[in-house]
Amino acid sequence: MKELELKYGCNPNQQPSKVFVNEGELPFEVLNGRPGYINLLDALNSWQLVREMKEATGLASAASFKHVSPAGAAVGLPLDDILKKVYFVNSDDLSPIAAAYIRARGADRMSSYGDFAALSDECDAATAKYLKSEVSDGVIAPSYSAEALEILKSKRKGSYLILKMNPDYNPPVLERKEVFGVTFEQKRNDIKITSELLTDIPTVNKDIPDTAKRDLLIALITLKYTQSNSVCYVKDGQAIGIGAGQQSRVHCTRLAGNKADNWWLRQSPQVLNLPFVDNIKRPDRDNAIDVYIGNESSDLLDTDDWKRVFKTKPEKFTDDAKREWIAKLDGVALGSDAFFPFGDNIERAHKSGVKYVAQSSGSIRDDNVIETCDKYGIAMAMTHIRLFHH
């Protein structure tokens, strides 16, 4: 098929809408559902991300996309008991690709609500079962087991969007898009993200262990498909905080750092022991946790609203208690899609346990950024590449 009619464009009033290729066939097949314009933007961007992450790490990879940026991305490392509880996993029989998606989805559950999922490997039954239990708009993968396909086709009253991607497809070198009647053309960003980008380390601390290199590669590949400006925090093979589309880089660092803090706070005893009412829906539970660990907790706990979600009234999670728990977060890797102009980005990153940084370099204040890293014993690699994505 060379052309596919879509439901509508970015908005319902933008009709007609379609995707097409000038030569050959479309590189994906619609197995179920009817795609929309944004669905396919998410699908094709997220597929590139997981394909490159699998190539760079050798591990099954997954992403959770919303509005053309990842809410989460991860490789398929095993989940410990705490993460299983945080991510609402009841099964001990998880494949690497299932673990990868669960990690990607769990990075920022609020942002992943209604996501588009991308899988580097075949979607198996374990992954499909987890996907079916979450609010999601669609999935793209190179293949599906018969059982997985049956499970997913029953989701959303049979309308769940399922795309099968041709894993051997490589696009043309030049890419084009049209804005306001003007056609833009550029060479596709096919730069390879490898550990060779992490060899220029100007900081006093030059020790970046293999696990941290893996996490820095995950951060950089994630940023390659995140709307710029962007910053990504990664720990133990998964993004834990992504700041996308901010005009100021320090705002990216703060936004992503706050998300990383929330990911860590969800693993605190205060959150793990929250007395939820029976049969609470996952989105309601996610919202309650977000409010409980946020500045709006008094709005929930100082009124009778808590009775909607909790069996008994929990104690407040005080600012002091939150700071004490966040101080335990350590060994985090941080990537930036361009240079840090000031050391304030490192100051903020340090508060969220960052020990390893990868950024392009090129600021007139690189010395100040390096000095700030040295102040905290952070190892920083200068990649000498920029990863803007628009």
Question: For residues 253 and 311, what is the distance between their CA atoms, to the nearest angstrom?
Answer: 37
Paired tokens of 301:
């706990």
Does the annotation mark 67 as catalytic? yes
Catalytic residue among 32, 39, 54, 66: 66
Catalytic residue among 22, 279, 295, 390: 390
Tokens 């060994």 belong to which residue?
Answer: 331
Does the annotation mark 66 as catalytic? yes
Q: How far is CA 43 from the centre of its chain?
A: 14
Closest listed residue to residue 118, CA positions, set 177, 53, 168, 57: 53
Catalytic residue among 67, 132, 251, 351: 67
The partner residues of 358 in beta bridges, in order of sequence, read: 335, 381
The crossing angle, in degrees rounded to 10, of helices 37-57 and 210-224 is: 160
Position 229, amino acid: N
In three-state secondary structure terms, 4 is: strand
Question: For residues 115 and 111, what is the distance between their CA atoms, to the nearest angstrom?
Answer: 8
The crossing angle, in degrees rounded to 10, of helices 282-293 and 249-265 is: 110
DSSP 67: T
Catalytic residue among 45, 229, 262, 345: 229
DSSP 308: G
Residue 319, number of CB atoms within 10 A of its CB: 9
**Catalytic site residues?**
66-67, 229, 390
